[in-house]
């Protein structure tokens, strides 16, 4: 059974009156679902008020282990091994995490509230009362990977665009609009209408996480004997989790494992890239049959286009001249060093030449909250170098192929 917020909170001065709230009974446990906006002062106050008014046996929060650590230890980025990030090709994931953090921080700065204040209020409240704290959300990297692999090209561009727009927009948001985030989810808000109009994107960003968090609640409840649990979640998840708590019948652990698995990457991008290269290599070989001059011109076009566009990517990231040179040299040699992209070589040179300082780690979260800060901070600039050189290399390969084929036919 469930109770709506209207049945629980009354009175215009009640801090809980305007908060999305639901209660669900399942397997002898009462789950009190409190919907929040992740940058809302009212949401943080509501969490503290709920913990004061009622007694709970546990507190569950919409956090994964990584996000919990970032709240408890804001200086965690000091431990970031930039070379390891580049080597393991986790640049996109780190950049996405920074973009999400920047979006949240930008909104929070307007109202002088700590990002994730409602989650911190829940964490602190649980610790003060000696209550178990349940981290129930899925790792954001898994969510973004599943979203990326579940959708088509246009929706993938929507994901990238949503992350980019969160950095570039400087429009101020009214506090009323901040409160309207209670109707959605932080990730969903970043991608705006794309998340609503694309069923696969909505499934990965919102619906899957509803099921995952519901299964986590059931698993934790089965490990102990709680009778009443406060669940602090983004309000965009409240109705989904409320429904799933009543309807979910699968055993929680297998469901968690299934939803936490990253689908294998599609083979088509690699196959397409291989086909493109074979076509270009064939065209260059064919050019040599027309004479040494034609073959040399085709080979030179390959070097100039791939190296030139990769170098332009490094320049766009304000990379060191030697990082630009590394991108120019490495990009045309891609067929001879499979598995080592030009972007990794260029970014590695950048990180070696412009070693991040302690100040860069200290300022990272603040710098990336503004788009210009990505070029000011040495860590963020190295990430940009990797991403822009990757884009430049791809553009250079396709441009070179088109140019070579057009000159031959």
Instruction: Kindly report, residue by residue over 104-141, the tens digit of the pLDDT.
Output: 666 556 656 666 788 899 999 999 999 999 999 998 77
Instruction: Provide the terminal-to-terminal Cα distance of the chain, rounded to the nearest Å.
Output: 72
CA 242, CA 402: separation in Å to the nearest integer? Answer: 54
Model pLDDT, residue 307: 95
Instruction: Kindly report, residue by residue over 246-266, the tens digit of the pLDDT.
Output: 999 999 999 999 999 887 766
Q: How are the residues of the chain apportioned to helix, strand and coil, as percentages rounded to the nearest 5?
A: 70, 5, 25
Residue with tokens 């080597």: 87
Instruction: Kindly report, residue by residue over 39-66, the tens digit of the pLDDT.
Output: 567 888 899 999 999 999 999 999 988 8
Model pLDDT, residue 246: 94
Identify the weakest region by mean pLDDT among 5-9, 43-47, 318-322: 5-9
pLDDT confidence bin for 198, thresholds 50/70/90: low
Per DSSP, what are the bridge partners of residue 30?
Answer: 25, 228
Structure tokens at 314: 């490094």
User: What distances in angstroms separate CA 373 from CA 58, 80, 153, 164, 365, one per listed residue?
Assistant: 40, 18, 29, 13, 10
* Closest listed residue to residue 20, CA positions, set 42, 39, 1: 42
């Amino acid at each position: 059974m469930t109770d709506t917020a209207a049945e629980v909170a009354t009175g215009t001065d009640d801090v809980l009156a305007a908060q999305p709230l639901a209660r669900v009974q399942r397997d002898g446990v009462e789950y009190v679902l409190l919907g929040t906006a992740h940058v809302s002062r009212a949401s943080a106050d509501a969490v503290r008020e709920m913990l004061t008014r009622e007694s709970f046996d546990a507190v569950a929060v919409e956090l994964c282990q990584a996000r919990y650590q970032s709240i408890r230890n804001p200086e965690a980025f000091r431990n970031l091994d930039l070379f390891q990030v580049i080597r393991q090709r986790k640049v996109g994931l780190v950049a996405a995490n920074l973009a999400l953090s920047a979006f949240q921080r930008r909104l929070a700065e307007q109202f002088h509230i700590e990002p994730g204040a409602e989650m911190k209020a829940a964490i602190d409240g649980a610790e003060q009362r000696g209550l178990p704290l349940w981290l129930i959300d899925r790792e954001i990297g898994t969510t973004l990977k599943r979203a990326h692999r579940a959708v088509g090209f246009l929706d993938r561009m929507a994901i990238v665009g949503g992350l980019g727009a969160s950095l570039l927009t400087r429009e101020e948001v009214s506090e009323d609009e901040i409160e309207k985030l209670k109707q959605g989810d932080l990730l969903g808000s970043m991608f705006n209408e794309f998340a609503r109009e694309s069923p696969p994107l909505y499934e990965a960003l919102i619906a899957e996480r509803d099921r995952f968090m519901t299964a986590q609640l059931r698993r934790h409840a089965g490990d102990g004997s709680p009778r009443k649990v406060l669940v602090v979640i983004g309000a965009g998840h409240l109705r989904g989790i409320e429904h799933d708590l009543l309807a979910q019948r699968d055993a929680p652990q297998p469901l968690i494992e299934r939803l936490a698995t990253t689908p294998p990457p599609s083979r088509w991008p690699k196959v397409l890239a291989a086909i493109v290269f074979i076509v270009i290599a064939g065209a260059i070989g064919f050019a040599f049959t027309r004479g040494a001059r034609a073959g040399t011109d085709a080979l030179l076009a390959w070097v100039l286009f791939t190296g030139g566009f990769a170098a332009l990517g490094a320049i766009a990231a304000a990379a060191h001249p030697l990082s630009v040179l590394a991108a120019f040299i490495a990009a045309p040699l891609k067929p001879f060093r499979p598995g080592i992209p030009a972007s990794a070589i260029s970014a590695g040179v950048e990180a070696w030449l412009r070693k991040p300082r302690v100040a860069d780690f200290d300022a990272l979260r603040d710098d990336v909250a503004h788009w210009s800060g990505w070029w000011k901070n040495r860590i963020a600039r190295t990430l940009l170098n990797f991403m822009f050189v990757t884009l430049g290399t791809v553009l250079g390969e396709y441009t070179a192929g088109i140019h070579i084929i057009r000159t031959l036919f």
